Copies of this chain bind each other. A is one copy, B any other.
């Protein structure tokens, strides 16, 4: 600890992203990236934008991208906020909607960045325990609170709530903002976007990192009522006027527009996931009902940490969380069919020893 650090810097316990090792070539099934490249139209748009205009600031209001997303979801531009990945959007949302000292609710097993933001922005949190099946108990979100975050589908459990269940939570929380973090929504569950015009307290957050194959471009967005979006704008414009560079803006517009490519790649991921799930179940794995681009698995005989280490030795990276309740599970991103065949073969070998 340095004497120059603020109390905030001293107090935080930063998030640790999945490893990005440089020592050798791995099959990377540890950070939920897409196995497929971005749309060729995205790459072309970026190359076109790599021109002398880079000397100029980007549009601080990101109008074209917001308009494109608004049109895609049948919303108004004023109902769309864009940011540097959904993590930045989440951070701004904490500042915009959650008061320091208030208590927000989120599930005990969920995205591990939520407690980090809570510590950073001095917002208390109550962890709502998932049930034994890792399902979210709706009624536990009815008590008075300072805000709610639901990751849907949830990570790392991969399970999802129906949009009807989301609506029950919304209707019971008219006085607080309910954030539905839909980073993985495109892999099998219905978005809560259709509830936005009914519930002014709903903020839906999505990202281009997963289903649009653009983790390297850093674009996320939020959809909600005009008043929520204006709140986010106020925070963003007090932190950094230009969070998206010209290249990211140009690429993101094309990513939203290329519907055919999006449908093709997300369907391939879903099909691979179903095939891998069946194969794992045949090997006696417990596999949760995944609506995401990853599976969450445990084996009755071989410990998850042991599987994690042996897979790593074989050049396959998956994610292991040494945390209560999930320390015997692995989160495995869905790679290409070839990668998943390697994974299944490696797993088969390990558990049959």
Contact = CB atoms under 8 A, between A and B. Distances in A.
Count this chain's copies in the assembly: 2
A119 interface: yes
A239 B6 contact: no
Interface in A14-31: 14-17, 20, 28, 31
Contact of A55 (B97, B98, B216, B218): B216
A96 B120 CA distance: 10
Nearest to A34: B55
A99 interface: yes
Nearest to A218: B245
DSSP class of A's interface residues: helix, strand, loop or mixed?
loop
Contact of A4 (B57, B95, B201, B244): B201
Contact of A54 (B59, B120, B214): B214
A50 interface: yes
A196 to B, nearest CB: 13
A2 B230 contact: yes
Nearest to A201: B4
A191 interface: no
A237 interface: yes
B57 A51 contact: no
Interface string A211-254: 00111111000000001101101110111111111111001000
Interface string A85-115: 1011001000111111000000000000000
B216 A245 contact: yes
A17, A54, A242 pick with most chain B CB within 10 angstroms: A54
Contact of A215 (B57, B97, B239): B57
Given A3-B175, A43-B51, A240-B85, A216 B246 contact: yes
B50 A54 contact: no
A33 interface: yes
17 contacts: A4-B176, A4-B177, A4-B200, A5-B97, A9-B97, A13-B238, A15-B238, A17-B242, A33-B57, A36-B55, A37-B55, A38-B52, A42-B54, A46-B46, A50-B247, A84-B240, A217-B246
